[in-house]
Amino acid sequence: MTTHSSRTGWPKGANPMSYAAKYGITNPSPTLDRPINLYPLTNYTFGTKEPLYEKDSSVPARFQRMRDEFEKIGMRRSVEGVLIVHEHGLPHVLLLQLGTTFFKLPGGELNSREDQVEGLKRLLTETLGRQDGGTMEWVVEDTIGNWWRPNFEPPQYPYIPAHITKPKEHKRLFLVQLPEKALFAVPRNYKLVAAPLFELYDNSAGYGPIISSLPQALSRYELLFSSLVWRIDYSRPLSIQMLWFAVEIVQISQR
């Protein structure tokens, strides 16, 4: 499953071969095929940092705060990011695990009048950003879905029920394209897990309706499993680099 990765490396500047390009379809609508590069989980390193606690200490407190804020600001706007890696030929979604049974996507609430993409990047950095001062590159270009909460209650639906004119919360899910390699710092009170799509599929009992429907939501993307990056450094001996490529190819073919 070796494909040419594009963003960093060689051939420089080449776009990933999308379905349209491969099959010579000219001028396709940009949303018809949306190729997304995924990298192996092993490309990423995960460190830890101090705990990041929730704003609400209990469920009732949460809804009370929601009510209060609804009064003042109106509908709450939340954003969450879906970070995908791949392993064993299958996309995995990164989830934060609280305790043993609760999973959530990284993200949170937007401040009033904050732009949603900026807000998401802010929140992602707060949650998973590295501590050593390096910048995180988050690329947010795609919306995966919208969910609305019609009342001050747990249920959320991917539509606004007909009889609701003022939903209390609107949550937006974005696809976050990860760089080829990155370092993340995970707060100590969370565990970062990579859940394969089949684990989520049809498992709303385990993950809730939003996360368990991610496989469906992601299915529209053309996920490119980049594992070999043919980055040739012309300053180093070429033969050694070729050797490493060969090793990688062998490793991948043996999976």
Partner 1 sequence: MAGDGVDIDLYDNLEEGFDQDNEFNAEDDLYNDVITAPSSGDNTEVQQQSEPNTPTKTTPSVTVPSGYTGRRISLYVGNLTWWTTDQDLIDGLAAIGVTDLVEIKFYENRANGQSKGFAVVVVGSDNSSRLIFEKLPKKEIHGQVPQISNCNRQALSQFEAQARKGEPPAQNGNTNKSSHQRNHSPPRTTPKQGFVNRQQRPSGPVVTGPPPTGPPPTGAPMMPGMPPVSGPPPQVQFPPGFPPRTLGPPPPAVMMRGPPPPIRGPPPADPRGPPPRPEWDRPPGPAPYPPLGPPPGPQPVPPPGARPPGPGIPHQQPPMTIPPPGHPPAPAPHVNPAFFPPQHGGPPPTMPHAAPGHHDPYRAPPPVSYPSDHYSRPPTERVEPQSPALSEQEFEEIFQRNKTVSSSAISRAVQDASAGEFASAIETLVTAISLIKQSKIASDDRCKILISSLQDTLHGIEEKSYGSKSSSRRSRSRERDRERKERSRSHRSRSRDREREYRERSRERDRHYEAESGSSSSRSHRDRDRDRDREREREYSSRRH
Tell me which residues touch partner 1 (CB under 8 A). 51, 53-54, 56-60, 62-64, 67-68, 71, 98-102, 104, 150-155, 157, 159, 161-166, 188-190, 202, 204-205, 208-209
User: Considering beta carbons, is residue 18 or 203 the nearer one to partner 1?
Assistant: 203
User: Considering beta carbons, is residue 71 or 132 the nearer one to partner 1?
Assistant: 71
Residue 109 CB, shortest distance to partner 1, in Å, is 14
Give 34's strand partners: 221
Q: Which residues contact 165 (CB under 8 A, 6 or more apart)?
A: none
User: Considering beta carbons, is residue 59 or 250 the nearer one to partner 1?
Assistant: 59
Largest CA distance in the chain: 68
Residue 105 CB, shortest distance to partner 1, in Å, is 13
In angstroms, the CA 4 to CA 15 distance is: 9
User: Considering beta carbons, is residue 138 or 207 the nearer one to partner 1?
Assistant: 207
For residue 179, whether the previous peptide bond is cis, meaning omega lies within 30 degrees of 0, is: no
Residue 199 CB, shortest distance to partner 1, in Å, is 15
Residue 66 CB, shortest distance to partner 1, in Å, is 9
Residue 248 CB, shortest distance to partner 1, in Å, is 37
**Residue 208 phi, psi dihedral angles, 5° rounding:** 85, 165
Token representation of residue 39:
């990298």
What is the pairing mode between strands 182-187 and 34-38?
A: unpaired
User: Considering beta carbons, is residue 45 or 216 the nearer one to partner 1?
Assistant: 216
Helices within 107-237 (DSSP H only): 116-128, 197-200, 204-212, 214-218
